[in-house]
A = this chain, B = another copy of it.
Amino acid sequence: MISSGPLKLQDRLEPILALLQKQEIVESLTHRQKGPALPLLEQLVHRQHEAELQRKLRVLEPADLGHLLEMLPAAKRLLVWSHVEEQQAAETLLELNENALRSLFADTAPARLKAILGHLDADNLADIADLVETSILAEVKAGLETQELHWLENTLTYDDDTVGSLMSRDSLVLSGDLTVDEAIVHIRLLGELPEQTDKIFVIGAQRILEGGVPLTSLLLHKGSTHLRAIMDRNLVKFAPQDEAKDAAYAFERYDLICAPVVDERLRVIGRLTVETIMDFVRERNEELELAKQGLSLEADLFGPVWSGAQARWLWLAVNLVTAFCATRFIALFAESIETLVALSALMPIVASIGGNAGQQTAALMIRSLGQDQLRGENLLIALRKELGVSLINGCIWGAVLGVVAAALYQNIGLGGVMMAAIMLNLLVAAIAGIVTPMWVHKLGRDPAMGTSVILTFITDSMGFFMFLGLATAFLI
């Protein structure tokens, strides 16, 4: 990216960060409330700093300002926030993550917060409404027009992660009876079009959607042509209850810029844009990454300690219970370990290689499940393939570690048991790596999230059990 400064956003924010790094400036800026009491010279210095900060902030795109706020520690975040004017603050709210929003909402005076939120339309308000305190939200709502209010309350009824919760209100909807020239006059009257509009949604009687006309068609066709004559009747459209995830796939597959959302009678009630879809995809990916460690999007590296600790309990507890259960297999063979203590140092290796191989198989399964590629016969092909792979890897790594163990402890039998246990645990890992994600998926859960705990439990338990079991049978 060349024109709007360097591609790395970081470099673009550098001047502001440098300003905030100078302690005396920060102090001068934060002492604003004491203003009148300050000596004249200090007042002047303070005004100068304030003007400099405001000038630098004013030219930032909302997205960039949002990024700056997110990366600042709480005190400086508030300092910057207090110097942003309301309109820009409102646009910036839409770019912030939930944690930053929560902290800003908590620390902004109700009057200023109301004023800022007053700059948002129903559409944008809907995106952040669930984070706003009820009493403030009620006052802001009171300032909306009836239609907007109705739309807002309707939107808030849709579940997160549905098309309804992502749709926006602004769409360019015209009757199919209009000619191209009339449509152009209509657009000129509007003065500007909603962002990310590449087509007109064409409606008939009772606002029922009939098709779409790309804006470029207006340029390509004669002025007297009716929209109905040039519209594409095969428009991809969504219902508000559709899952946002499926809509994202459709946007990607069919290279959509925007698409209408319709009710059960095919009346246009909103619009999805590729911008919203991209934000949804990014947020969903982040959410999945955190969910794999039992964390939610709200988890924050900079938030309060106590809630941070609580956020992690459940996950640690689940993992502790499974780890505890897996190690009960070790306790079963306590006598064998007492007799041949080398077993205690080797058993975690057997468990660990099983875990790693199982996670590899599971990662491939999860990708294929995500791409919807697994049906009856494919599953068998995959299982056969993974068993083959684990047999080869079992032979190789089993042999290597068998030799290492035999040499290290001068015990050939121990080497043999090590080898056999590794081979068996890799077979277990292949089967568990195929079956576990499949099963989690069938239960309607995301296999990327649930699989790892179960898989680790299986490969750990079986690793301990088979290695110590074989050792007890053949060596003790």
Question: Does A1 contact B293, Cβ atoms closer than 8 Å?
Answer: no
Decide if A253 is an interface residue (CB 8 Å cutoff). Answer: yes
Decide if A218 is an interface residue (CB 8 Å cutoff). Answer: yes
Which residues of chain A (353-401) have a CB below 8 Å from chain B?
A: 353, 356-357, 359-360, 363-368, 370-375, 377-378, 381-382, 385-386, 388-389, 392-393, 396-397, 400-401
Give the segment of A33-41, A120-128, A145-153, A194-202 that binds chain B. Answer: A194-202
Question: Does A366 contact B289, Cβ atoms closer than 8 Å?
Answer: yes
Residues of B within 8 A of A353 (CB): 316, 319-320, 323
Question: Does A278 contact B302, Cβ atoms closer than 8 Å?
Answer: no
Decide if A64 is an interface residue (CB 8 Å cutoff). Answer: yes
Q: Once bound together, how far apart are the Cα atoms of A367 and B67, in whole Å?
A: 14
Question: Does A330 contact B348, Cβ atoms closer than 8 Å?
Answer: yes
Give the segment of A5-13, A45-53, A80-88, A105-113 that binds chain B. Answer: A5-13
Question: Does B236 contact A4, Cβ atoms closer than 8 Å?
Answer: yes
Question: Does A371 contact B70, Cβ atoms closer than 8 Å?
Answer: yes
Q: Please encode chain A, from 238 to 261, with 1 for each CB lying within 8 Å of some chain B CB and 0 for all others.
A: 110011001101111111010100
Residues of B within 8 A of A97 (CB): 371
Looking at the complex, which one of B4, B317, B334, B367 makes contact with A344 (CB distance below 8 Å)?
Answer: B334
Question: Does B357 contact A316, Cβ atoms closer than 8 Å?
Answer: yes
Q: Once bound together, how far apart are the Cα atoms of A351 and B351, in whole Å?
A: 13
Interface majority SS (helix, strand, loop, mixed), chain A? helix
Looking at the complex, which one of B71, B300, B371 makes contact with A375 (CB distance below 8 Å)?
Answer: B71
Q: Once bound together, how far apart are the Cα atoms of A64 and B236, in whole Å?
A: 14
Question: Does A278 contact B254, Cβ atoms closer than 8 Å?
Answer: no
Q: Once bound together, how far apart are the Cα atoms of A328 and B345, in whole Å?
A: 7
Residues of B within 8 A of A476 (CB): none
Residues of B within 8 A of A389 (CB): 305, 308-309, 312
Q: Once bound together, how far apart are the Cα atoms of A397 and B216, in whole Å?
A: 63
Decide if A208 is an interface residue (CB 8 Å cutoff). Answer: no
Looking at the complex, which one of B255, B327, B374, B393 makes contact with A312 (CB distance below 8 Å)?
Answer: B393
Q: Once bound together, how far apart are the Cα atoms of A400 and B324, in whole Å?
A: 12
The chain B residue sitting closest to A453, CB to CB, is B356
Residues of B within 8 A of A392 (CB): 305-306, 309
Q: Once bound together, how far apart are the Cα atoms of A400 and B278, in whole Å?
A: 44
Shortest A395–chain B CB gap in Å is 9
Question: Does B367 contact A234, Cβ atoms closer than 8 Å?
Answer: no
Shortest A465–chain B CB gap in Å is 13
Shortest A31–chain B CB gap in Å is 21
Question: Does A187 contact B364, Cβ atoms closer than 8 Å?
Answer: no
Residues of B within 8 A of A250 (CB): 1, 7
Which residues of chain A (260-277) have a CB below 8 Å from chain B?
A: 262, 266, 274-275, 277
Decide if A144 is an interface residue (CB 8 Å cutoff). Answer: no
Residues of B within 8 A of A193 (CB): 216
Shortest A183–chain B CB gap in Å is 9
Shortest A216–chain B CB gap in Å is 5
Decide if A313 is an interface residue (CB 8 Å cutoff). Answer: yes
Residues of B within 8 A of A4 (CB): 234, 236
Given contacts A187-B216, A352-B319, A373-B71, contact A3 B234 (CB under 8 A): yes
Decide if A191 is an interface residue (CB 8 Å cutoff). Answer: yes
Given contacts A278-B252, A328-B345, A334-B341, contact A360 B295 (CB under 8 A): yes
Decide if A442 is an interface residue (CB 8 Å cutoff). Answer: no
Q: Please encode chain A, from 220 to 250, with 1 for each CB lying within 8 Å of some chain B CB and 0 for all others.
A: 1000000000000111111100110011011
Given contacts A236-B1, A352-B319, contact A367 B289 (CB under 8 A): yes
The chain B residue sitting closest to A343, CB to CB, is B344
Nearest 9 A-B pairs (CB), nearest first?
A: A305-B388, A63-B253, A309-B392, A323-B352, A330-B345, A71-B373, A344-B344, A255-B275, A293-B363
